[in-house]
Every structure is written in structure tokens, then in C-alpha cells.
Amino acid sequence: MKNLFKTLLIAIALIITIRAEAQIINPGQGAPAGAIVYSLPMTSINLKIDAEYELFTAGPYARFAQKYLGVQAREENRETYRITSVQMIPYIEADPSINIALNLGNNKNASANFLEMINQGLIMWSDSYAGKMAKMQFPTLAGNSDFLRSMSGSNLTNEMTTLYRTVQGRSSLDRAAVQQTQVVEKSLEKRAEETANLIFKLRAKRLEIITGETDATFSGDALRAAIAEINRLEREYLDLFLGKTDFGKQTMSFDVVPKTDNEKQIYIAFRLSDSQGLLPASNLSGRPIVMELIREDAAVAVNMDATAGRGRVIYRKPAIVNARLTDGQTVLIQSRVPVYQLGNIMSFPIEIATGRL
């Protein structure tokens, strides 16, 4: 009976003296029994970019604009993009390269301090991830479909052709001219000439209505409706010569994950192409948009034992950097951002009695 009592006392003493112990888990190594696994935080910088594109589609009659309208018109399609809005959002997630097993034991202070460090972001659960919505944008295909309705006039015309046949005269064979009419397709220039004539007729009719030099009488809403319809038709016909311009918006999201082995801390965040718009950094079709992380002057470093062991928990203190996004010499946005992976790894006595860290 006495031996059993001594055994119970020894077991109770061992339970009371269990202390928190941390251990870094190497790749392929399992976590010790009864331990919780946590990781150190790392920062990824998410960029949400809005770009406006201008898509110009040349009119099918552009090369005849100078001849029939007396104005110069662009004859080539063109697509241009420009950045209109930039948002920089830092996200905190668990560093997948560092996993630490920690046995908190039965110390209440250790459990409370561990949870407080989780709340403050100094350490993270190993499966923590800041999920973000992915967006994709497909390029707009340019074509002449915008002009099909305005061009849907008569595409055929009558063409007179003179043929000759041989007839028997009194003394010889003579050639006699024969007129023949056949239906052929109008040339592009002919259709451009007809469209230009329609434009001038519309302008003349509009002037007659406004000045009252017409047999019909327009007033009030009827006058406004007639002028509006003439203006609409004129714009449609002019677009066949001068082309159309469409505006739209492209929105995409990119991530920059700072690396500790990048000495200059300069990254290509994404690329911008005049013909394809916003592109990932790996696509060399566009010019690079660069992010530079400029570290602020650090305070005096504190020498601290940052090795895992009994009674200590490892955590990461972030480095404060000035994140600057530039397009050539133009600064698009800059902001102060805490980057954990560029900071210092430190340790804290987990069993110390504190109210809050």
C-alpha cells in the first residue's frame, strides 16, 4: 500500500513539473505526441489593378474620307491600356517552410500566452491562409461588326457594257456596237461615295427643317425627334469613314511574395501591354511594373536566444518597409507595410505570468 502511494505521488509530481517545450519539425518528420503545431507568419502583398482600355476600330471607308468628306481618318485599328486604380493589400499567412511543434504541458500561463501571441499575429496556426478571389480578364476581339448595320444598303448596281458583233455589209463585214446591261457588285469606293452623298443630304435636310424651308411643318417634340434621328443617322454614316472608339475596364489581381534571398528587394509585380492589357510577370509581352521594398532604418537589434527548447516559444517580428510600385519613373502607389519574413526571429518564455503581451 505504501509503495502504491509513493508511485502516485511521483506521478503527480511529474505531471506538475511538465513544462512547455518547442521543437522545429524538419521535412518528413512527424509531430511529437500531444504537441500542437504552429508556424511563423509571412507577408504576401496583393495588388488589385484597374485598367481602362480604348479600342479603336477603323471604318471600312477610312481611306476614302479625304476624297469624299475632306477629312483625315485613321486607317489602322488600335488598342491602348492605361492604369486607373491601384490597391495594395498586405495579407498574412503561415510560412510553409517553418513548422514548430510545441507541448504546452499543464501550465495555464503557457496556454494563455500562446493564444495571445496567436491573436497578435506573432505566430500562426500551421494551416492559416488568407484566401483571395481570383479574377481573369479575356481580351476584347475587334471587328467590323459595329458597322454591319450602317453598311447594309444596296450592294448591287447596273453597269453598261459595250459589245461588238460582226454584220454583213454591202461590200464587207462591219462591226456593230451592242449595249448590254448587267448587274455587278459595287466597289468599296462606290459605296463610300454613295454614303458620303447621304451624309450631305442629311445635313441639307436638317438645315431645311431648322430654318423652316420645307413643305412639312415641325414643332415641339416632332422637331426634336426629327433632328435627333437625322443626327443618329449622320453619326452612323460618319463612323463608316472615321471609325468607332469603345472604352472598357479590365480588373486583375496580382501577388508579390517577398523573398529573404533577394538583396535588392526589387520585384516585377506584373506587366502592362498596349495590346493585351494587364499581364502576369512571366509574360514578356508587356513592359514591367516594378515593386521595390525599401527597408526603414531599423532600431538597435536585440540579441536573443531564438532556438527552440524548454519553456520558450519562437516568434517572428516583422520588418517595416516602404513598398513602392512604379511604372518607369512614375510612382503608382507607395505605403508602409510590415513584412514578417524580412524581420527577426525571436523567442519568448512561454510560461511567464503576464496579463497581456
CA Rg value for the chain: 39
- Residue 70, classified by CB atoms within 10 Å of its CB into exposed (0-12), middle (13-18) or buried (19+), is exposed
- Residue 7, classified by CB atoms within 10 Å of its CB into exposed (0-12), middle (13-18) or buried (19+), is exposed
The candidate with the shortest Cα–Cα distance to 314, out of 356, 344, 353, is 344
pLDDT, average across residues 269-287 = 91
Counted domains in the chain: 1
DSSP one-letter code for 298: P
Lowest mean pLDDT among 62-66, 72-76, 155-159: 155-159
**DSSP strand pairing (156-168 vs 312-327):** unpaired
Domain that holds residue 329: 20-52+85-140+252-349
pLDDT band at 150 (very low <50, low <70, confident <90, very high): low
The whole-angstrom separation of Cα 64 and Cα 197 is 13
Helices (H) and strands (E) counted in the chain, each on its own, are: 5, 12
pLDDT, average across residues 21-29 = 67
Give the residue with greater pLDDT, 60 vs 215: 60
Instruction: Judge contact between 90 and 255, C-beta under 8 A.
Output: no
Q: Which residues 6+ apart lie within 8 Å of 178 measured at CB?
A: 162, 163, 164, 165
Q: Is residue 331 part of a domain?
A: yes
Positive or negative CA dihedral for 154, 239, 68, 65? negative
pLDDT band at 221 (very low <50, low <70, confident <90, very high): confident
Q: Is residue 288 part of a domain?
A: yes
Is it the case that residue 205 has pLDDT exceeding 60? Answer: yes
Q: Is residue 111 part of a domain?
A: yes
Q: Is residue 172 part of a domain?
A: no
**Strands of the sheet with 287-295, listed across from one edge:** 277-279, 266-273, 287-295, 312-327, 330-349
Q: Is residue 35 part of a domain?
A: yes
Give the residue with greater pLDDT, 306 vs 251: 251
Is it the case that residue 219 has pLDDT exceeding 80? Answer: no
- Give CA separation, 154 vs 97, 150, 297, in Å: 71, 11, 75
What grid cell was written down for 30? 512527424
Q: Is residue 126 part of a domain?
A: yes
What grid cell was written down for 178? 451592242
- How much is the pTM? 0.64
The whole-angstrom separation of Cα 241 and Cα 58 is 8
Reported as a single tens digit per residue, the pLDDT across 88-119 is 999 888 888 888 887 776 666 767 777 777 77
What pLDDT was estimated at residue 217?
A: 73
Provide the percentage of residues in the chain whose pLDDT is more than 70: 65
Q: Is residue 293 part of a domain?
A: yes
What grid cell was written down for 35? 504537441
At residue 194, the 3 state secondary structure works out as: helix
Instruction: Judge contact between 231 and 210, C-beta under 8 A.
Output: no
The whole-angstrom separation of Cα 244 and Cα 59 is 7
What pLDDT was estimated at residue 35?
A: 74
